[in-house]
């Protein structure tokens, strides 16, 4: 099991000098992956899920910067809200980042949940699942087909091409986020991996049961290989050897840690230092 870190494109970690310092430190400490969150806009008002004035750097822009100051870290989007993006533009951005980083991109994709955000960018939240599936399939055609083309309800193109292609012949490593049955189905049928969120190994156990149930109902394309499991542990105060060992025993490929809301990059460095050898201690 590898360790990753999530959320360092937000709040106190957005300063470019702090980002470079943190990225180099994460790589130096042996973490395997760095995941960036995504929101284009956030609603204002008392019901907003987070402070809309809190800084959040766009994930692909952020990861391009992180790629420039690291050499080994895998670069994950955790996750891009796909219905809010033009799939051809995103396919180009992802392929470009994958090439510039030497094939390190883990393209985490999800259908989203924040209706106010979707409506603000002109996307109906009602059809977001079907739109997400079409967008993934159309992007994969651009990345892998000799003559890319796609005909769907939400995206359609023919007689176009886009280069450079991603480093790997199957395209960037696509990781599907979400914990609904539809997300599980999407992960099994379209993803190289799955990205889940929770507060405990009990949460992961529940989600793995859901993935297994769906896997018995649908066929997984052979070219996707084994479904990799990445899990974001949200509570920074409950990460210890026993918890990490439980995640490892459950078969998690990546345990992704979240430092929580931070007031300084120094606090994040302390968190990273304390947990850097967590994976090696439990194996």
Cβ distance 132 to 90 under 8 Å? no
CA distance 56 to 242: 32
Instruction: Round to the nearest angstrom and report the end-to-end CA distance of the chain.
Output: 8
Residue 91: CB partners within 8 Å, gap ≥ 6?
A: 138, 139, 142, 143, 162
DSSP string, 186-234: HHHHH-SEEEEEESSHHHHHHHHHHHHHHHTTSPPPGGG-SPEEEEEE-
pLDDT, residue 281, reads 76
Q: CA quadruple 41, 19, 7, 192: dihedral positive or negative?
A: positive
Taking the model in full, what pTM does it have?
0.96
Task: Spell out, as residue ranges, where the chain has pLDDT lower than 70.
Answer: 282-283
Q: 12: which DSSP letter?
A: G
Quickly name the fold that domain 2-282 has: TIM Barrel (3.20.20)
pLDDT, residue 283, reads 60
Question: Residue 81: in which H helix or E strand, if any?
Answer: strand 80-81
Q: What Rg value do the Cα atoms of the chain yield, rounded?
A: 18
């Amino acid at each position: 099991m590898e360790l990753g870190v999530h959320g360092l494109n937000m709040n106190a970690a957005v300063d470019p000098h702090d980002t470079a310092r943190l990225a180099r430190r994460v790589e130096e400490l042996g973490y395997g992956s760095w995941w960036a969150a995504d929101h284009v806009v956030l609603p204002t008002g008392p019901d907003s899920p987070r402070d809309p004035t809190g800084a959040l750097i766009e994930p692909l822009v952020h990861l391009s910067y992180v790629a420039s100051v690291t050499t080994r870290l895998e670069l994950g989007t955790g996750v891009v809200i796909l219905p809010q993006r033009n799939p051809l533009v995103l396919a180009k951005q992802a392929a470009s980042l994958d090439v510039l980083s030497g094939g390190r991109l883990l393209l985490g994709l999800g259908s989203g949940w924040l209706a106010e955000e979707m409506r603000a960018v002109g996307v109906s939240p009602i059809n977001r699942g079907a739109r997400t599936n079409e967008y993934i399939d159309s992007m994969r055609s651009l990345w892998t087909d000799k003559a890319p083309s796609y005909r769907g309800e939400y995206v359609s193109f023919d007689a176009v091409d886009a280069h450079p292609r991603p480093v790997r012949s199957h395209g960037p490593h696509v990781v599907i986020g979400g914990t609904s049955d539809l997300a599980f189905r999407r992960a099994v049928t379209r993803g190289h991996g799955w990205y889940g969120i929770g507060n405990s190994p009990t949460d992961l156990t529940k989600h793995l049961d859901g993935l297994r149930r769906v896997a018995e109902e649908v066929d997984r394309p052979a070219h996707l290989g084994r479904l990799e499991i990445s899990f974001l542990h949200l509570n920074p105060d409950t990460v210890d050897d026993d918890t990490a060992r439980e995640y490892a025993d459950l078969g998690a490929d990546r345990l992704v840690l979240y430092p929580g809301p931070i007031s300084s990059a120094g606090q994040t460095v302390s968190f990273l230092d304390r947990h850097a050898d967590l994976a090696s201690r439990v194996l």
